[in-house]
């Protein structure tokens, strides 16, 4: 029940088709109720939430609040759980995630990329692959969900190589004040610096696209609390124009990628992205071309956009 778990809870509480029956987190139930009611980014929740011991009542529905450190101590079958949304990050290997199945759940959807033996399926790209019906699925991360669609569309023209720099709001994996960290830069005060960090995005993209050895990635954490901007430089295989590229994404946004990819020419800043449900918002005003080199800018809300795709997965399995 971190940032992603609480966002999912808020969004699913009143869903007519999907029901949250239980949550599990080590924090005190009263503290969790407080964090669900009051959020520093998205504001106070207008939905009434009642907490009594280890149970929430939301929109007339009862939700069990568990505090188990080990999945093996949970009986998901007792709650008739169809899907566990595994948002702790602690059960991202296939062997660990499978403990939810042993505990009685029918499926597990991670909120991260997961280990290489778990199918990596991006909603809107390859989610209809037969592996999409597997018991354990990784929907990728927010950066992968943004980048995959962009590179896939561009590779229809032909990509020689791509450099991706994801400018991303700081996260809980960083430090509030300078502290020790195995990645020295991650240990620096998040709100005081622009901080480059190592990411595994290139490896994820190479699993999804025929671009092995042609992708390099880095993320730069910036002192804002929400939102991200993908700064993508692509060397194309043939001559292109700004108008051609913008037309490609504008058409995709209105057709096969509707609801996943958005195209705009409005002069956006990161604050404008908050609450946007798309995985990527192409900023057509900032597209530029020099020879065969393309610069593309895409925005995304790393919490709201990402949880939108996780909810899409739940609806896909529910159909």
Do the annotations mark residue 4 as ligand-binding? yes
* 3 appears as a binding residue in the annotation: yes
Find the DSSP H helices in 78-189. 94-102, 142-155
Kindly give the residue spans of alpha helices, DSSP state H, lying in 188-294: 201-208, 242-254
Residues with Cβ < 8 Å from 251, sequence gap 6 or more? none
Only one residue has tokens 């991006």, namely 122
Chain-centroid distance, C-alpha 90 = 16
Residue 132 and residue 121 in contact, taking contact as beta carbons nearer than 8 Å: yes
Query: Is 308 within any annotated ligand binding site?
Result: no
Angstrom distances, CA of residue 27 to CA of 57, 66, 101, 171: 18, 9, 24, 19
Catalytic residue, chosen from 87, 142, 146, 280, is: 142
The answer to whether 270 is a known ligand-binding residue is no
Instruction: Assign 310 to helix, strand or coil.
Output: helix
- Catalytic residue status for 142: yes
Q: Consult the annotation and say whether 82 binds a ligand.
A: no
Show the tokens assigned to 295.
């610069």
Which H or E element spans position 9?
A: helix 3-12
Annotated binding site: 3-4, 25, 111, 302
User: Would you please indicate which residues are annotated as catalytic (active-site) residues?
Assistant: 142
Would you list which residues are annotated within the binding site for NAD(+)?
3-4, 25, 111, 302
């Amino acid at each position: 029940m971190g940032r992603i778990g609480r966002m999912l809870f808020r969004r699913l509480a009143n869903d007519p088709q999907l029901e949250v029956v239980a949550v599990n987190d080590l924090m005190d139930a009263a503290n969790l109720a407080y964090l669900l009611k009051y959020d520093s980014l998205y504001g106070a929740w207008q939905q009434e939430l009642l907490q009594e011991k280890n149970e929430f009542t939301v929109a007339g529905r009862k939700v069990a609040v568990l505090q188990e450190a080990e999945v093996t101590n949970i009986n998901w079958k007792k709650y008739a759980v169809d899907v566990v949304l595994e948002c702790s990050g602690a059960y991202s290997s296939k062997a660990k995630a499978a403990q939810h199945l042993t505990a009685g759940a029918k499926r597990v959807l991670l909120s991260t990329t997961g280990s290489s033996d778990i199918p990596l399926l991006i909603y809107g790209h390859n989610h209809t692959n037969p592996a999409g019906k597997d018991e354990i699925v990784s929907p990728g991360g927010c950066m992968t969900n943004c980048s995959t669609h962009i590179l896939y569309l561009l590779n229809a023209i032909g990509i020689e190589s791509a450099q991706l720099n994801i400018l991303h709001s700081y996260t809980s994996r960083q430090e509030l004040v300078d502290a020790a960290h195995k990645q020295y830069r991650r240990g620096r005060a998040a709100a005081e610096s622009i901080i480059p960090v190592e990411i595994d995005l290139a490896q994820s993209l190479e699993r999804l696209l025929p671009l092995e050895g042609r992708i390099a990635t880095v993320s730069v954490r910036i002192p804002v609390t929400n939102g991200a901007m993908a700064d993508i430089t692509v060397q194309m295989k043939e001559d292109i124009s700004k108008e051609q590229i913008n037309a490609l994404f504008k058409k995709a946004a209105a057709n096969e990628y509707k609801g996943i990819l958005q195209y705009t020419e409005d002069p956006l800043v990161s604050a404008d992205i908050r609450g946007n449900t798309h995985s990527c918002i192409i900023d057509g005003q900032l597209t530029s071309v020099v020879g065969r080199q393309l610069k593309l800018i895409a925005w995304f809300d790393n919490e709201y956009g990402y949880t939108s795709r996780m909810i899409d997965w739940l609806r896909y399995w529910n159909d």
